[in-house]
Each structure stands twice: as C-alpha cells, then as structure tokens.
C-alpha cells in the first residue's frame, strides 16, 4: 500500500514523518511526502494514487489541512474514481481528539505515536478488514483503539533523510535536526501545603514534607466505577512557593492546596474547585476504605506565597488529610500514555546510536550544525552525558534545556565536544506569572545566572518568551523585556499566547467562558495574533513584534514604549520578521567556517 504524507513548506526537519516513513517502508509498503506549497498536489495524486493520505497537524494549522483533505478526497472521488483513507495525527489530535468529528472527510485520527497504528492499519486496509482493532485511533463511530505502548526508539529504523530532503531547499539547509530523547519529564504544577498529612500503606501518617522518594503510601486504583486502596510508591517530590487556598469541608476537615489542584469528586471525576465551592464534594477515606464524600463549604484564598509540595506516585494519586488527591497536572501526552513523573520515565536513545546517526547524516549531507529537537536534552543523566561526550565527533550542536539545568560542569563538558548553542524558555519575566500561571518554578535570579554562565563560556543562546498569557498585563510583558535585556541573549524570541484546547491554560480559558474550542477561530500560529489578549491587546501585539530588536539594542526601549501605543501595522511585522531572520543567520546559528568541516573533531 501507498502512504502520502502531506506537509506545508518546512525548513526544520519533520523527524516524526521521517521516522514513520522509514517504519512504513520496513513493513514493505511505500511512503512518500509532498510539500503542497512547492509541488502540484493534484499532479501528485494522479501519479502516486495513495491509499492513505496522512497529515501531522498542530492547533491553528488544523483548519488549513482539514480543508485540503476535503479537496483531496473530493478530487480523488470525482477524477480518479477512488477515495483514499485519510489519517490525521500530531499534537492537535492528541490534545483535542474531538477534531475527528469536525469533518466527514476525516476517516480517523491517531492519538500519540503512530508506529503500531500504521502497522495494523496498513494490514487491515490491504486485506479489507475492519479497523476496529487498530491501536491509537479514533473515528466518527468508535472511541480510542487500544493504546499501544511506546516503542523503543533504539530498535526503530532511522528517519528517511532522503525523503525529508527531497526538495532542494531542504537539501541545502546546513542545519540538520536530530533527537536523543522522547517525552518530557517535567510536570509544572504543585499541590498541597507542606504540613498536609499523607496516609502511609502501614496505616501511619506523616507530613508531606517528611516523605522521601521510595516511600510507600496509600493510593487508589479504579475498576469500573469502583475505587480500591493499593500500595503506591513515591517516584518524585516537588516543592515550590506559591499562592494557595484553604478548603474547608462541612465536617471540619481542612486542607490547603493550589488553585489548580485536582480532587476525586463524588462524580468520580478529577476536578479542581475553580472559583466557587458550590456543589463540590470530595471523596474521603477512612482507614483503608473509601468512605463517603465531604461537602466543601468554604474556599478561602491565602495571602502571599507559602511552601507547597506535590508527590508523584505510581498510582498518580494519594490521600491528603483524608481526602483523595491527584498528582500534579500532567502534560496531555503523558496523560495519554499514563507515564509517571520525572526524568527517569523519559526514553533516551543510546548515545552511541545518536552519534552514529549524526555521523551518517554528516557523511551524506552538507552539515554545519546539528539541532537537537528534544524538549529537554538529557543532561540530567550523568552517565548518558559522559557516553555522549565520549562518542560525539560530529561538530557543533544546539540543544534545548531548562535554565535550572545550566551548570558550569555540564556546560564545560558539552562545550568540549562541540556545544554551540542552547535554547531555554523563560515565558514571563514576572515570577508570580511564571510560577502561579505557567507553573515554571524558576526564579529570575536563576535565569540571570544561567545566562551569565552561557556568556562566560561563549555559548550562543536563545531565550523564548510568551506575551499575553492568561491574566498577564502589558506591564508584565515589559518586565519580561527587561529581564531579557539583563540576560543579553543572542536571540530574544517572542510569541503570543494561544488558548490551545487540551492544555491546562487553554482548558481554563474555556472553563471561564473566554473561548469556544469548536469555533475554530484560533490563530494559524503563535507569532501573528492571539484572540485573548484583553484590553492591552494592541500594545502587547506591538511589543511582541518589537521585542527582539529592543533586547538587542536596549537604547530603543523608550522609543518602543511609545511605538506600542500605535495600532498594529505592517511596519512592525516587517521589523519583527527581518530582525529575527538576521539574528538566526548572524548570531544564533552562525558557525565559524573552520568548525563546519568534517575534520572538526578529529583531534579528540
């Protein structure tokens, strides 16, 4: 069978498509891709006649690909006398699976990884079998197929680079993407006060601040609508300082938690209270038995910030002051796969295989720089880093990590084998916004110190920032600008917040009635506009466009403040795009000629 991946114009290597294409070919099927902006899609349909047309989509771009799919299926039906099967995947489908019902032309969507999905789907379609047993899919008539386990990436074929580089522009791009690890180990929300009483499996109790990783507490497991007590191992412990609320139940039970903390309610759902405790009943436990629900009568905000803890357990829940509590918020991808918290759950590839892949790529394609697409490059694994540094001889590379992970020893070690640049996200320069809204527990002092270390060692770096987060004001975004000016990055990257359905903040915006996820009015990307910027919308949009150049040339700050009062306009758009292009080419990704060649690391 033939699979055709339909993509828009791309510069960054779409590694996911490359991996799937190699996998499909290893199963003795055919795979191809088309950049529909560079090639005639209808001519391709005539010559290739795909059995499956596949799309990997993000929120915002989903509208364009949905319309394109409708056009493709209509054309094939009317002109080619057959109708290909359409399969959508990517973040939008995983975060917002209701997308499958937005068009009759969508045959199925894939939730999470697509390896087992393609294997079973291709077999089913080629033998005219029903697709009910295809893992990870959802159709108009059925819910999720069984979720296939995550694959061991060391055992999978490498991305089909010849397919990814079939267009001249991609062949000539000297920056090659690669990936060393999958998933993300960071959970970005915290739960209950440090004095909260946690029930151990032996019947004793202790304050949450006294627990240790490896301790065994009481957790719950669900069978149907019934919940049963079981042993639950503490896998991680998280601490921060943040605003909290006191919950008071009708029987006098009290607990202090963050506003987004989730409890098991009498409806057998995990919910947070929100703005009002009306009709909110939390399930409780007596001894080792689920007893009854306790009615919440008061929900009281506490002034200032206080010490807050969360434990991550093997059951993803625990008992707090006798009430059934969930772990911290988990990103959707981890929820789908029921992954535990912490970096130990990340699938990191063999460092030797990563280095060998890079060696092969550099041998076949012009390469000045490798860009690691990992959400967080695996610097937390000392042995992995040691092995990587032992085998890496592939020249300059750029990684993404958290700013809290920037330490002298790690930077020195990676620089010795070619580390050229680092990207880390700040998002907001206001600690309260960053910690309480975005759940990013790092201080401004940590950010400034991390930037200082990178400048000391001559590492290029990009700081990523997000303007107009839910509840953030124009004044707040100016603080973000000032923090970037202090840090002096090679590129101060700025975007506009979008209320993506399925994310915590997006769902909160929906809950507050600020956004209707079925309206399809979310922006194409997060650089040009946002539908939820409030009364400061125009000033925030303008600041986002002038952000990078103002960080680069701080003397412009007074002028920027004046310009932000004007209506958004094409001149600001042009400043934004031209400066960003210049900063990429002449700052962040500029590699000295003597470091580009294949002989760079031979003296190791």
Mean pLDDT (the chain) is 87
Class of residue 474 by CB neighbours under 10 A (exposed 0-12, middle 13-18, buried 19+): buried
Indicate whether 346 pLDDT > 60. Answer: no
For 378-397, what is each residue's pLDDT tens digit? Answer: 887 778 899 999 999 999 99
> Which pTM was predicted?
0.74
Question: Quick check: 185 pLDDT over 70?
Answer: no
Q: Which residues contact 254 (CB under 8 A, 6 or more apart)?
A: 246, 247, 248, 321
Residues 109-122 have pLDDT tens digits of 998 889 999 999 99
| Cβ pair 24, 174 in contact under 8 A | no
pLDDT band (50, 70, 90) for residue 305: low
- pLDDT score of 340: 44
Taking the CA atoms of the chain, what radius of gyration do you get in angstroms?
25
The β-bridge relationship of strands 263-264 and 137-138 is unpaired
- Res 468 pLDDT > 90: no
The Cβ-side half-sphere exposure at 304, using a 13 Å CA radius, reads: 2
pLDDT digits over 262-278, tens only? 899 988 888 878 656 78
Asked whether the CA dihedral 523, 527, 528, 533 is positive or negative, the reply is positive
Residue 604, pLDDT above cutoff 50: no
More confident residue, 80 or 227: 80
Lowest-pLDDT choice from 139-143, 331-335, 488-492, 586-590? 331-335
Asked if 361 and 211 touch (Cβ cutoff 8 Å), the reply is no
DSSP labels, 45-66? HHHH--SEEEEE--TTTHHHHH
Which helix (H) or strand (E) segment holds residue 223: the answer is strand 216-223
Longest alpha-carbon distance in the chain:
73
Assign 190 a pLDDT band (cuts: 50, 70, 90).
very low
The pLDDT assigned to 206 comes to 94
Among residues of the chain, what percentage have pLDDT more than 90?
A: 58
Cα–Cα distance measured from residue 58 to residue 64, given in angstroms and rounded to the nearest whole number: 11
pLDDT for the residue numbered 594: 64
In this predicted structure, which of 100-104, 360-364, 497-501 has the lowest mean pLDDT? Answer: 497-501
pLDDT at site 310: 77
Q: According to the model, what pLDDT value does residue 332 have?
A: 47
DSSP letter assigned to residue 476: H
Helices (H) and strands (E) in the chain, counts: 19, 26
Sheet hosting strand 2-7, strand order edge to edge: 30-35, 2-7, 52-56, 85-89, 108-110, 137-138
**Location of structure tokens 């009635």:** 513
Distance CA 336, CA 338 (A): 6
As a whole number of Å, the end-to-end CA separation of the chain is 47
Q: What integer is the mean pLDDT of 542-570?
A: 96
Instruction: Please determine, for residue 77, whether its predicted confidence score (pLDDT) is greater than 90.
Output: yes
Contact 352, 391 (CB under 8 A): yes
For the chain, list the domains and their CATH numbers: 2-172 (3.40.50.2300), 192-328 (2.170.16.10), 401-588 (3.30.750.200)
How do residues 22-76 score in pLDDT, each as one tens digit?
999 999 999 999 999 999 999 999 999 999 999 999 988 999 999 999 999 999 9
- 169 or 433: which leads in pLDDT: 169
In this prediction, residue 337 carries a pLDDT of 47
pLDDT in tens, 430-459: 988 887 778 776 789 889 999 999 999 999
Q: Please state the rounded mean pLDDT for residues 124-128.
A: 93
Q: What is the pLDDT of residues 209-241, one digit of tens each?
A: 898 878 999 999 877 667 888 999 887 676 655
Q: What percentage of residues in the chain have a pLDDT greater than 70?
A: 88
Block residue for tokens 């199963």: 27
On whether the CB atoms of residues 466 and 500 are closer than 8 A, the answer is no
β 289-313/281-286 pair status: antiparallel
Other beta carbons within 10 Å of 188: 18
**Whether 197 contacts 315, CB under 8 Å:** no
Per-residue pLDDT, 10? 94
What's the token pair of residue 278?
A: 């009306």
How many other C-beta atoms are found inside a 10 Å radius of the C-beta of residue 15? Answer: 16
What's the number of CA atoms in the CB half-sphere (13 Å) around residue 262? 15
3-class SS of residue 83: coil
pLDDT on residue 304: 64
**Two tokens, residue 197:** 């009483």
Locate 485 and state its tokens: 């000016």
List Cα–Cα distances, 88 to 2, 96, 161, 165, in angstroms.
Answer: 16, 12, 22, 22
Sign, CA torsion 359/361/364/368: negative
pLDDT at position 603 is: 31
The encoded tokens of residue 523 equal: 């922006």
CA distance linking residue 120 with residue 127, whole number of Å? 11
257 closest CA partner among 342, 313, 324, 186: 324
Between 289 and 481, the higher pLDDT residue: 481
As a whole number, mean pLDDT of residues 570-589 equals: 95
pLDDT beyond 70 at 556? yes
């Amino acid at each position: 069978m033939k699979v055709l991946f339909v993509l828009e114009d791309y510069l960054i290597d779409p590694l996911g498509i490359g991996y799937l294409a190699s996998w499909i070919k290893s199963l003795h099927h055919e795979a191809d891709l088309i950049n529909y902006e560079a090639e005639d899609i209808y001519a391709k349909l005539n010559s290739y006649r795909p059995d499956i047309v596949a799309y990997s989509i993000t929120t915002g771009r989903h509208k364009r690909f949905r319309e394109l799919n409708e056009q493709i299926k209509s054309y094939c039906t009317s002109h080619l006398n057959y109708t290909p099967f359409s399969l959508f995947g990517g973040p939008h489908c995983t975060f917002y699976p209701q997308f499958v019902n937005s068009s009759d032309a969508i045959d199925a969507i894939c939730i999470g990884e697509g390896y087992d999905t393609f294997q079973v789907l291709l077999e089913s379609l080629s033998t005219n079998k029903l697709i009910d047993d295809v893992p990870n899919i959802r159709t108009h008539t059925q819910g999720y197929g069984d979720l296939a386990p995550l694959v061991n990436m060391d055992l999978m074929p490498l991305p089909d680079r010849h397919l990814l580089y079939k267009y001249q522009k991609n062949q000539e791009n000297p920056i090659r993407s690669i990936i060393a690890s999958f998933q993300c180990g960071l959970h970005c929300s915290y739960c209950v006060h440090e004095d909260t009483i946690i029930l151990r499996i032996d019947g004793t109790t202790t304050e949450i601040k006294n627990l240790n990783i490896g301790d065994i507490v009481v957790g719950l497991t669900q069978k149907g609508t019934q919940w049963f007590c079981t042993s639950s191992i503490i896998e991680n412990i998280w601490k921060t300082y943040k605003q909290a609320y006191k919950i008071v139940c009708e029987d006098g039970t009290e607990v202090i938690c963050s506003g987004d903390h989730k409890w098991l309610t009498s409806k057998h759902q995990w919910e947070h209270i929100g703005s009002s405790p009306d009709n909110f009943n939390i399930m409780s436990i007596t001894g080792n038995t689920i007893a009854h629900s306790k009615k919440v009568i008061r929900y009281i905000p506490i002034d200032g910030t206080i010490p807050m803890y969360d434990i991550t357990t093997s059951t993803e829940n625990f008992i707090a002051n006798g009430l059934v509590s969930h772990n911290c918020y988990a990103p959707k991808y981890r929820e789908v796969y029921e992954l535990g918290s912490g970096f130990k759950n990340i699938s990191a590839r063999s460092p030797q295989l990563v280095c060998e892949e890079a060696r092969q790529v550099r041998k076949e394609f012009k390469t000045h720089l490798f860009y690691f697409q990992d959400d967080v490059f695996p610097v937390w694994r000392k042995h992995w880093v040691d092995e990587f540094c032992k085998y890496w001889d592939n020249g300059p590379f750029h990684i993404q990590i958290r700013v809290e992970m920037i330490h002298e020893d790690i930077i020195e070690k990676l620089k010795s084998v070619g580390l050229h640049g680092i990207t880390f996200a700040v998002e907001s320069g206001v600690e309260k916004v960053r910690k309480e809204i975005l759940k990013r527990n790092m201080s401004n002092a940590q950010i400034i110190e991390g930037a200082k270390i990178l400048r000391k060692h001559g590492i290029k770096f990009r700081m990523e920032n997000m303007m107009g987060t839910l509840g953030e004001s124009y004044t707040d975004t100016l603080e973000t600008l000032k923090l970037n000016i202090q840090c002096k990055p090679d590129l101060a990257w700025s975007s506009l917040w979008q209320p993506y359905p399925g994310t915590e903040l997006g769902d909160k915006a929906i809950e507050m009635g600020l956004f209707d996820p079925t309206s399809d009015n979310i922006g194409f990307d997060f650089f040009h506009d946002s539908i939820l910027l409030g009364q400061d919308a125009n000033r925030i949009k303008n600041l986002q466009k002038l952000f990078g150049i103002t960080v680069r040339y701080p003397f412009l700050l007074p002028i920027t403040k004046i310009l932000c009062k004007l209506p958004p306009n094409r001149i600001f758009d042009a400043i934004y795009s031209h400066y960003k292009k210049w900063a990429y080419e002449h700052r962040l990704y500029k590699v000295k000629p003597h470091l580009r060649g294949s002989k760079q690391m031979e003296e190791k």
